[in-house]
Chains A and B, each alone.
Chain A
Amino acid sequence: MHPFAAHRLGLTRRRFFADTARTLGAGLGLAALDSLLGPHARAGAGDSSSTALGAPHFAPRAKRVIYMHMEGAPSQLDLFDHKPGLRERFDEDLPDSIRQGQRLTGMTSGQARFPVAPSMFRFSRYPNREDGIWVSELMPHVGGAASELCFIHSMHTEAINHEPGITFFQTGHQQPGRPSFGSWLSYGLGSSNRDLPAFVVLITQGQGNMQALSSRFWGSGFLPSQHQGCRLRAAASPVLYLNDPPGVAREDRRAMLDLVTALDEEEYARTLDPEVRARLAQYEMAHRMQMSVPELTDFADEDPRTLDEYGPEARKPGSFAANCVLARRLAERGVRFIQLYLRGWDQHGNLPREIRLQSKAFDQPAAALVRDLARRGLLDDTLVIWAGEFGRTVYSQGALTATDYGRDHHPRCFTVWLAGGGVKPGIRFGRTDDFSYNIVENPVGVHDLHATLLHQLGLDHERLVHRHEGRDYRLTDVSGRVVREILA
């Protein structure tokens, strides 16, 4: 082909890239764009008026998300939803007027009675930016950071079991098949880092009864699969296949990659297929990741005092503390969505002992993360979320004594907290009844929370859609309300 003709061909393709970019959002990095050039992905782009995001729909308040999911569902009653009146009701039956015949899990549906189990933990009042908040002795550090946090006591969900519950929280739908929150964000906003994936997942193994995780929780569903979360592991190879094999040094990989580049360029000349060059761009990004990820996971450049603040486990790879430090480092590098999992909050029995251990692993590092972000000026545009998949019952599952009880799943109300990203700091929102059983003020559903988070990221949840199998899908399905009351 005549060089001029080849130039025109390239130009046409480039114009196409630009079109695609407009339809998918300006934040989409070049690398991500290239990957969209598979014919199928291309077919999906630009075919629906409602996916056409010229940019974020409006000016965002937050640029990135750190989402701490407490897998197993922590007890709001023992952590943040203080119900001092329950002390007098120890072992009394939960009044029918409260329970209202609500459906039960298969684990307690056979239970003869539902005795009230007040929290055995002491609560103290910590200053926030209102009249203070009562926080359990299990969470002293989080309590101490309350002036940065927005507590929502009136969260509710539709699922009563873990698997559908987590799937609902992560994908907006209880059944498998939908894209996760992070992949929606990667899809809508792209990456702002050329060397790291837009969506990173960090998992910490817990202390107690651990429920299953599934790659669907960070999967891309029907979105192109480059939007799926990338696990960063506390293993020799933090990203899958990142490390070169033994006996291959960095320069060797460079030399090998130079050969590939030279041969692929000849392939391009032969075929004129822009995919060839798009692939080379991804190879170069892979090579940069090989450098940037080890630098990311090496804490040698951290101030020891900072690490100390995250607690004694901050130097132990894979611990929740270490993952909190990593989350901050990822946020600094512009990673869009950082998902932390802490497994093991499913305390059906023996709750006091188990929740104490879990909280100990969580409390100090989480509070340190919020403070560290604030100190570095990152909290303003980083949205931090803390949530389980549902709450736990006020009545005891199994034997109830003064120092031992368990709690079953409770979807009707639970507490989550947010920080940063344009959310009002130091407030409480929503209220539950005296049993932390029903919401009496300002209910917030999972889709509402999703809508609110997207809103802070500059996205209208009703317009962030993807057409799949003839239907426009969105994270909030067919509902969702932005909870403006908690926005600064």
Chain B
Amino acid sequence: MPFPRSGLALLLGAGSTLAATGASREVPAGNAAVRYDRDVRPILADRCFTCHGLDAKQRQAELRLDDPASALADRGGYAAIVPGQHAQSALWERLTAADPDERMPPASSHKRALSSAELELVRRWIDAGAQYEPHWSFVPPTRPPLPAVRDAAWPRDELDRFVLADLEARGVAPSPDAEPAQLCRRVFLDLTGLPPTPEELASFVADVRADAYEELVDRLLTEEPYRTRHAERLATPWLDGARYADTIGIHTDNGRSLWPWRDWVLGALRDNMPFDRFLTEQLAGDLLPDATLAQRVASGFNRSHVLTDEGGAIAAEYLVEYAVDRAATTSSVFLGLTLGCARCHDHKFDPLTQEDFYSFYSFFSSVDEPGLYDQRPDPRRAFEPFLAVPSAAQAAERTRLTGEIAELELERERPAPGEAEAFADFTRSIAPALGLTWAETSLVEARSSGGATLTPQPDGSLRAEGANPDQDEHVVTLRTAARGLRLLHVLGLPDPDKLGRYENGNVVLTGVELSWARPATPEARTPVPLAWAWADVEQQNGDYGVLNVLEAGDRFGWAVDGHQRGGPRQLLVLTEEPFGTGEELLVTVALSYRSEHARHVFRRTKLALATLDAAALDALPITASNAYRLGPFPSQTRLEPYTRDFGPEAHTRLDRGFNFGNGNQYWARVSNWEDGRPLVLPEGVNVSYTARVLHAPSARRLTLALGSDDGLVVYQAGREVFRREIDRGVLPDQDRVTVELRPGANTLVFKIVNTGGQAGFAYAAREGELALDPEVLAALLPAATRGSALDARLRAAWRTAISPEYRRLALAIGDRQRELAALEASIPATMVMKELATPRETHVLDRGRYDHPDKARPVARAVPAALGRLPDGAPRDRRGLAQWLVSPANPLVARVAANRTWETLFGAGIVRSSEDFGLQGEWPSHPELLDWLAVELRESGWDLRALVRRIATSRTYRQSSRAREDLAERDPDNRWLARFPRQRLGAEAIRDQALFVSGLLVERFGGPPVKTYEPAGLWEEVAMLASNTRSHAPGPGDEVWRRSLYTYWKRASPPSALFAFDAPTRESCTIRRSTTNTPLQALVLWNDEQFVEAARKLAERTLAGRGDESARLAELFQRCTARTPGGQELERLRATLERFRARYQAEPAAAERLLAVGRAPRAPELDAPELAAWTMVANAVLSLDATITRN
């Protein structure tokens, strides 16, 4: 049924006010019509619908009073309501029953009995025929005719006609227009959030043109800097609704990056984006065809809810909570309905069922998100799904760098002239340069401990045949007369195509031992200690590094990856000292195969010995073992870990069999950890260890780049060589530690002390330029043994490491890659919506519990049945939802948006409960005006700015705000709009104004959030140690003076000064802030560092002005209130200034202390006592009611 328009004026006649439910409603006087929707339903809804309404679970006696079919039905000779006959209606009987057991509502419901006025309404409604009607806001608005008014000269805009017609019907005259100065300050604050400067004020007051005011409004809406300020002003209520903040809100309350979305909102408001687009891109920007980057950024609206990273949290539970929040916020912001109420059961009052809720919810429940997020140290992290959002300059720079890198890489692929010869020279010359000579040897004996036969082959290799035991040792004795031997070469050869005797072809060599004896005394063998080893291939999927062969006694060995890759294998082993004197010696090489992998034995091996110059040892690179870790060892205090040894500190070698704790605390190899990348270690107050063994061919000095969370102690061979006691998050390269390595094995143990939260460790080491690249070492091998694969690797390695042309290009590429990486790191990321490929199945959740889906009640995406349905052909996703929202068939969206715009300027909406247009919401003060504005908004192409302009230039808006004696009783809340409402400024405007009038405000559009002044220690007191928003420090430079909407919003501890003035925590959607008045607000204005500093700068600015003392005081006062002091005001200001002047002249030191507050430099030419006295006066003026209120 359409909204009946006639007769409204009748209802607005004189009548006694009544404290009815919901809102203060007027009882239609005399025989005027009683309306179900406005007069009766609120009473029934409040007192009856809980048990006789929509909620089937609560329903009593199978009676629905909200449904005429049930209320009027014959119930066996009687009916709850008999139209036209209240006395025959059971409802009336029960409402008025004398017997308390009979009377409704029952005492057990704690509902108040109906008052006589309420009963009267019910009686008249029944007698008039008990006409039910749909709720006004669920019927799409149509444009009502403009009402006639007697005083045709008063209205300036159509909207004024509605207000005036209403006032005339009540016999009330509107208020006179506000003084120009008052109007000027009002419209500046309402539209831009900042007051006019004295110059702007003076020029407006002096402008006598008839359209001076309209022109001012146009300027404020369309010209810079006002246009940007206007966007910043309008953004604040939008950010409240979208629950935008800079931390995740739960557990660690870690930082997160969503500010590009906030900037998108600012840009859209600045550019007056049509509201239908504004809505669509925020709800479904990611789903639009060929979505632009900006449109996808806009979808961040639905990601700004709280998130959890609490270790034990259950992901499925939070997936539900996130989707519920999105559904509830979307419905509150755009529909003005509290859909969230239907999560657990059918809505008690509004026609919204649980099915409706979950159908709506399912638009938002298929996001590609983890539910429970991991914890990371980066406070600027965007939580997945997210997008990188480069600025235009950043995007251009990225294109340039990637292009240059691609070009250089192409160039690098091309062989440089002369390179082939240079390579040949290198391979020819390296052996002589290092003094490398392969010794002549002859085989004396070769035997196997396990019974295999080692048969010499024509090429000098030995082939294992016959018995094939699980474990074996091959002992080979060679005769040689060489001198100064240093290197052993073990060549493993495929035979014919497999390296190992085990069927998969793999080999694990667990030990190499070397000894010599004189031929005369072959049993008197001298062992040769080994220092270092190198291999061309090391298997990566376990503790299989080549250095394992140097520890012959254990089961750990060098695995050759023979089951995956063919070709020969090369092993070089360096001895600690040269051996061989030139006389004939018997050199014995023992190769052991004692791993847990049975029969992983080389099929064919060839051994060789070589000399090396001592000086050449410096050319061999350090070889590093795998990384190992141990722990955590929990600790009871945060300091104990630094002083307490858990065992590994004293260990000089890495014994992987040693148990360090009463649990199983053994060294374990770390996999998938690259140098320079942080390794994540366990949470808690504890100690973890990592270790490496570095094998140096000669004494070396090596610099390590380390990072740790939190503290770090480094031990080398059991001796402490470095200590850092600190609380921090881990980054690569936080500490540089130089260690002196001795030839052979060097054990490094890193003790990582964690004082809370996650721990981490990063390690990197860089060798000096002298050592050869490990890959280039292949050049030492006899060319004939290398094989084609190794040859190719050698050639590539040589190019990388040694070819001058190649190195030039590599350096050029490296520079650009570093630049690119830095650029990428500086590109902000922002959270966005991203649908799963397959939507999650959704069911009604029993009582809203995540783990109780009602499998019998699956739901499909749909809009609440009472409000309409998706347009035909619309996609069943958020895009389709947006299409429905902005379609003319939608009853709510235009009304809700128009109402919120009205609220922004008038402080209260036409529907005062701007968050609730449902049955429990308030009746609009001017229903036809609201519909007219809603239709106007929609038909103007959703031009929000035109609507703002219309309201701001209306006569209604321009009225004086002075309270009126004649209305104090009749309209105490100014619902009739017979004057303009006086309103305390919002939190942001109060702070911004203080910054602006003092000249401190830094106006810079958008960008990352900024940290302003905040009392010390507040964050630490509530934060977890693991939180990356654990401590607060004001941002650098002028960041502290940015507009308040850019202030870093930590949900667990929102900005204190704003919070004191009713800013919300932004944990959930806030449509309407409360406006309270507390002592804490006074303390902020008096004592907050920001306000004290602003008072000083305001005083400095005033003292720098012209005129005598009175003129200056007047200017200071006017700057803050837009009026000149009158009455006794100037005298009081002067007297107080004089008092402070005397006080600070008597104690200049106190003046100095006061003036030291705040980081803004102080004007050096000003006398301290004088400035301090003015500062106190400015402090008072900034605290005036007239300053923090707009009239």
Is B341 a contact partner of A271 (Cβ separation < 8 A)? no
Chain B residues within 8 Å of A13, by CB: 968, 972
Is B341 a contact partner of A471 (Cβ separation < 8 A)? yes
Chain B residues within 8 Å of A262, by CB: 1128-1129, 1132
Chain B residues within 8 Å of A266, by CB: 1126-1129
Report the minimum CB–CB distance from B320 to chain A (whole Å).
11
A43 at the interface (CB under 8 A from B): yes
Chain B residues within 8 Å of A471, by CB: 338, 341, 348-349, 920
Tell me the A133-183 residues at the B interface (CB within 8 Å): 160-163, 175-177
Chain A residues within 8 Å of B962, by CB: 270-272
Report the minimum CB–CB distance from A57 to chain B (whole Å).
10
Q: Mark A216-245, 1 if CB is under 8 A from B, else 0.
A: 100100001110001101010101111111
Binding-face segment, B516-524, B708-716, B729-737, B1016-1024: B1016-1024
Q: Mark B684-713, 1 if CB is under 8 A from A, else 0.
A: 110000000000000000000000000000
Tell me the A27-55 residues at the B interface (CB within 8 Å): 31, 34-43, 46-50, 52
Chain A residues within 8 Å of B349, by CB: 470-471
Chain A residues within 8 Å of B553, by CB: none
Is B1022 a contact partner of A163 (Cβ separation < 8 A)? no
Is B1180 a contact partner of A275 (Cβ separation < 8 A)? no
A161 to B313 CA separation, bound complex (whole angstroms): 6
B907 at the interface (CB under 8 A from A): yes
Binding-face segment, A277-285, A295-303, A480-488: A277-285
B311, B1015, B1153, B1157: the one within 8 Å of A237 (CB) = B1015
Is B110 a contact partner of A209 (Cβ separation < 8 A)? no
Chain A residues within 8 Å of B1072, by CB: 40
A210, A226, A350: the one within 8 Å of B756 (CB) = A210
Is A177 a contact partner of B1068 (Cβ separation < 8 A)? yes
A477 to B252 CA separation, bound complex (whole angstroms): 27
Tell me the A437-488 residues at the B interface (CB within 8 Å): 460, 462-463, 467, 469-471
Name which residue of chain A comes closest to B312, CB basis: A105
Chain B residues within 8 Å of A275, by CB: 982, 984, 1077, 1185, 1189
The total of chain A residues at the interface (CB under 8 A) is 117
Is A286 a contact partner of B1079 (Cβ separation < 8 A)? yes
B749 at the interface (CB under 8 A from A): no
Among B251, B313, B1076, the most chain A Cβ lie within 10 Å of the Cβ of: B1076
Binding-face segment, A4-12, A88-96, A329-337: A4-12
B992 at the interface (CB under 8 A from A): no
Report the minimum CB–CB distance from A245 to chain B (whole Å).
5
B663 at the interface (CB under 8 A from A): yes
Chain A residues within 8 Å of B203, by CB: none
Binding-face segment, A61-69, A252-260, A381-389: A252-260
Is A207 a contact partner of B348 (Cβ separation < 8 A)? no
Is A226 a contact partner of B1078 (Cβ separation < 8 A)? yes
Contact A225 B1074, CB 8 Å, known A252-B1140, A258-B1136, A262-B1128: yes
A177, A249, A263, A348: the one within 8 Å of B1186 (CB) = A263
Binding-face segment, B76-84, B497-505, B949-957, B1084-1092: B1084-1092
Name which residue of chain A comes closest to B1143, CB basis: A252
A244 to B1082 CA separation, bound complex (whole angstroms): 11
Chain A residues within 8 Å of B637, by CB: 207, 357
A264 at the interface (CB under 8 A from B): yes
Report the minimum CB–CB distance from A332 to chain B (whole Å).
20
A211 at the interface (CB under 8 A from B): yes
Is A241 a contact partner of B636 (Cβ separation < 8 A)? no
Tell me the B972-1028 residues at the A interface (CB within 8 Å): 972-973, 981-984, 1015-1018, 1021-1025, 1027
Contact A212 B312, CB 8 Å, known A35-B1076, A271-B1191: no
Report the minimum CB–CB distance from B1136 to chain A (whole Å).
4
B112, B968, B1156: the one within 8 Å of A8 (CB) = B968
Is A243 a contact partner of B310 (Cβ separation < 8 A)? no
B46, B1067, B1126: the one within 8 Å of A216 (CB) = B1067
A467 to B46 CA separation, bound complex (whole angstroms): 11
Chain B residues within 8 Å of A280, by CB: 1185
Report the minimum CB–CB distance from A139 to chain B (whole Å).
19
Is A213 a contact partner of B1021 (Cβ separation < 8 A)? yes
A276, A286, A409: the one within 8 Å of B1185 (CB) = A276
A58 at the interface (CB under 8 A from B): no
Chain A residues within 8 Å of B253, by CB: 212, 214
Among A37, A52, A225, A348, the most chain B Cβ lie within 10 Å of the Cβ of: A225
Is A49 a contact partner of B21 (Cβ separation < 8 A)? yes
Q: How large is the interface on B (under 10, 10 to 19, 20 to 34, 35 or more residues)?
A: 35 or more
Name which residue of chain B comes closest to A158, CB basis: B849
Q: Mark B237-248, 1 if CB is under 8 A from A, else 0.
A: 000000000000
Is A240 a contact partner of B1086 (Cβ separation < 8 A)? no
Chain B residues within 8 Å of A374, by CB: none
Chain A residues within 8 Å of B1018, by CB: 240
Chain B facing A: main interface SS:
loop
Name which residue of chain B comes closest to A219, CB basis: B1065
Is B1150 a contact partner of A249 (Cβ separation < 8 A)? yes
Name which residue of chain B comes closest to A2, CB basis: B965
Chain B residues within 8 Å of A350, by CB: 634-636
Is A260 a contact partner of B1023 (Cβ separation < 8 A)? no
Q: Mark B1146-1163, 1 if CB is under 8 A from A, else 0.
A: 000111111111000000
Name which residue of chain B comes closest to A105, CB basis: B312
B912 at the interface (CB under 8 A from A): yes
Report the minimum CB–CB distance from A308 to chain B (whole Å).
26
Is B1074 a contact partner of A259 (Cβ separation < 8 A)? no
Name which residue of chain B comes closest to A160, CB basis: B312
Name which residue of chain B comes closest to A470, CB basis: B920
Among B912, B1075, B1172, the most chain A Cβ lie within 10 Å of the Cβ of: B1075
A240 to B310 CA separation, bound complex (whole angstroms): 29
A208 at the interface (CB under 8 A from B): yes
B306, B1083, B1136: the one within 8 Å of A255 (CB) = B1136
Contact A246 B1157, CB 8 Å, known A212-B1024, A273-B963: yes
Tell me the B907-964 residues at the A interface (CB within 8 Å): 907-908, 912-913, 915-916, 918-922, 961-963
A103 to B851 CA separation, bound complex (whole angstroms): 10
Is A245 a contact partner of B1082 (Cβ separation < 8 A)? no
Contact A259 B1022, CB 8 Å, known A39-B981, A175-B321, A241-B1080: no
A245 to B1139 CA separation, bound complex (whole angstroms): 18
B969 at the interface (CB under 8 A from A): yes
Is B21 a contact partner of A259 (Cβ separation < 8 A)? no
Chain A residues within 8 Å of B321, by CB: 175
Chain B residues within 8 Å of A112, by CB: none
Q: Mark B738-780, 1 if CB is under 8 A from A, else 0.
A: 0000000000000000001000000000000000000000000
Name which residue of chain B comes closest to A8, CB basis: B965
Name which residue of chain B comes closest to A36, CB basis: B1076
Name which residue of chain A comes closest to B665, CB basis: A399
B801 at the interface (CB under 8 A from A): no
A363 at the interface (CB under 8 A from B): no
A39, A175, A240: the one within 8 Å of B1075 (CB) = A39
Chain B residues within 8 Å of A216, by CB: 1051-1052, 1065, 1067
A306 at the interface (CB under 8 A from B): no
Name which residue of chain A comes closest to B1030, CB basis: A212
B46, B338, B961, B1076: the one within 8 Å of A225 (CB) = B1076
A70 to B372 CA separation, bound complex (whole angstroms): 25
Chain A residues within 8 Å of B1052, by CB: 212-216
B141 at the interface (CB under 8 A from A): no
A289 at the interface (CB under 8 A from B): yes
Contact A161 B1185, CB 8 Å, known A212-B253, A259-B1180, A399-B663: no
Among A8, A248, A463, the most chain B Cβ lie within 10 Å of the Cβ of: A248
Chain A residues within 8 Å of B372, by CB: 106
B631 at the interface (CB under 8 A from A): no
Chain A residues within 8 Å of B19, by CB: 46
Report the minimum CB–CB distance from B1166 to chain A (whole Å).
15
Tell me the B1039-1056 residues at the A interface (CB within 8 Å): 1051-1054, 1056
Instruction: List 5 A-B residue pairs with CB atoms under 8 Å apart, sorted by A's residue number.
Output: A36-B1076, A103-B851, A212-B1052, A225-B1076, A469-B915
